[in-house]
Amino acid sequence: MTRRTERLSQQIQIEISDLLCRHINDPRLKGLISITGVSLSKDLKNARISISALGDAANRGDIIKGFTSASGFFRRELAHRLNIRVTPELTFEFDDSIQRGVELVSTIERVAAADKMEADAIKRHTKRK
């Protein structure tokens, strides 16, 4: 990825996050939603935007539908805000990395608690002898 592509990806991510927070009134796009990344094609005509949200899998479909229906608005606003020749076509995909991170942390906490209980049981058992 070239420096220009990286800078443009970051700027698109910032602008879409701002638009999502301040200008979108779609109830499907309310709640804890994050733009986790933007990847641009080499010709800068297509942008794949990764989004993440906490919640169940049923909401994910609604969130993607909400973003797809608002893609025209996002694209028009990007054209106004960015100084680029061609505004990329936007496609949205769900990124479950935050959800997987939360699950991983809870698994680690469970294992740590089980290890502590086992260590305490061994300690009590050795004191009895």
pLDDT (tens digit, 9 = 90+) per residue, 102-124? 889 999 999 998 888 887 777 77
Indicate the CATH number of 3-95 among 1.10.10.10, 3.40.50.300, 3.30.300.20, 1.20.140.10.
3.30.300.20
Instruction: Decide which of 93 and 101 is more confident.
Output: 93
pLDDT range class, residue 127, cuts 50, 70, 90? low
Nearest to 90 by CA among 45, 32, 28: 45
Which pLDDT score is estimated for 117?
Answer: 85
Backbone angles phi, psi at 90, to 5 degrees: -105, 130
- Residue spans per domain, the chain: 3-95, 97-129
The answer to whether residue 11 scores a pLDDT higher than 70 is yes
- Calpha distance 42→40 (Å, rounded): 6
Which pLDDT score is estimated for 80?
Answer: 93
The answer to whether residue 129 scores a pLDDT higher than 60 is no
Which pLDDT score is estimated for 57?
Answer: 66
Nearest to 64 by CA among 97, 98, 26: 26
Write down how long the chain is. Answer: 129
Alpha-carbon distances of 18 from 6, 92, 104, 107, rounded to whole Å? 18, 16, 29, 33
